[in-house]
Amino acid sequence: MHLIQGIKLKNDQCLICGHSKIRDLFTAKDHGISQENFIISECLNCKFQFTKNPPVESKIGPYYEATKYISHTEESPNFINKLYFYIRDFMFVEKYKIIRKYNSSNNFLDIGCGLAHFLNFVKSKNNNVTGIEKIESTANIARSKFQIEILPPEFLLENKLKEKYDVITMWHVLEHLYNPKEYINAIKKLFNHESILIIAVPNQNSTDAIKYSEFWAGYDVPRHLWHFNPINITSWVEQFGFKHLATHRLPFDAFYVSILSEKYRGSKFATLRGMFNGLVSYLKSISNIQKTSSLIYVFKLNSNE
């Protein structure tokens, strides 16, 4: 997909392989906010999937309406949201353990930090933390609550960050970016020899994605622009001079995503059905990590970069 000024996506070239032959697969609905339909398309060469013709970047804001978009709110009006918050907080510990397997230094940058709950957890472990957040209202809430430095994306993309970072994280952020190539190139400039990049994204090849197809909550159109799998995301990031070190599971995403997907299908007893199918997806992922609902990828720059 060719990027024009980081504003509008022109879907005539694959982000991953550069191929120009594209086909439309199916229509997915924005069940959570706008109720609009969007087309999921696929590269005929490498099978990479993407959201066709999303709103231009300057008009995407209403699709992140704070009271409805879960990662930008602290409200817990229902069971699904409460489940999300519980799992989120539990996984901070697990994510931190994964990071410490590859880097023990203490200078963290979280891109797309949202309300900065992860950064606040990392800060509590005596680390230096900085966040990047595009939505200013969200950043203001985080600054006020946690007293963390949170900067707009321009500081990253325009090389205004003058220090190096030991750990750079993108938790379910890459799939939202209109200009992902610019972000990856900017991240490279912030690396030292031991730095690691952590990217977490939904897995389009997961058991729950295949089961739910157009109702899969992981598509989350139009907010999710790119729909990665373990093969194409690692090959794409490596094109920028990174080396893929490891892949780790986000084990509980299958439950939350399956419950939402059942809700989107209009199922009776959606929560129970979702819990059951989430369990099936989770169990299948134990023997095959590439079937996991969401995955964490760990990268490091090649030594010659």
Name the maximum alpha-carbon separation found in the chain: 56
Query: What is the β-pairing status of strands 37-43 and 22-29?
Result: antiparallel
Give 69-125 pLDDT, tens digit per residue.
445 455 555 666 676 777 788 889 999 999 999 999 999 999 999 999 999 999 999
**Letter string b/e over residues 148-184, b meaning 16 or more CB atoms within 10 A of that residue's CB:** bebbebebbbeeebeebbbbbbbbbbbbbbbbbeebb
**Weakest mean pLDDT among 21-25, 193-197, 205-209, 301-305:** 301-305
Which pair of tokens denotes residue 12? Answer: 């005539």
* pLDDT tens per residue across span 14-53: 999 999 999 999 999 999 899 999 999 999 999 999 999 9
For residue 222, say if its preceding peptide bond is cis, omega within 30 degrees of 0: yes
Radius of gyration over alpha carbons of the chain, in Å?
Answer: 18
Cα 286 to Cα 129: distance, rounded to the nearest angstrom: 33
Q: What angle do CA 296, 65, 212 make, to 5 degrees?
A: 50
Q: Which of 65, 46, 62 is nearest to 54 (CA)?
A: 62
Question: In sequence order, what are the residues at sequence separation of 6 or more whose Cβ sits closer than 8 angstroms to the Cβ of residue 78?
Answer: none
- Paired with 42 in beta bridges are 23, 49
Token reading at 210: 């295949």
Return the pLDDT at 217. Answer: 96
Q: Which domains does the chain have, with CATH numbers?
A: 2-301 (3.40.50.150)
pLDDT confidence of residue 80: 65
DSSP for 175-186 reads GG-S-HHHHHHH
CA distance linking residue 68 with residue 124, whole number of Å: 29
pLDDT in tens, 128-143: 999 999 989 889 999 9
**Rounded to two decimals, what is the model's pTM?**
0.91
Poorest-pLDDT segment among 84-93, 145-154, 225-234, 288-297: 84-93
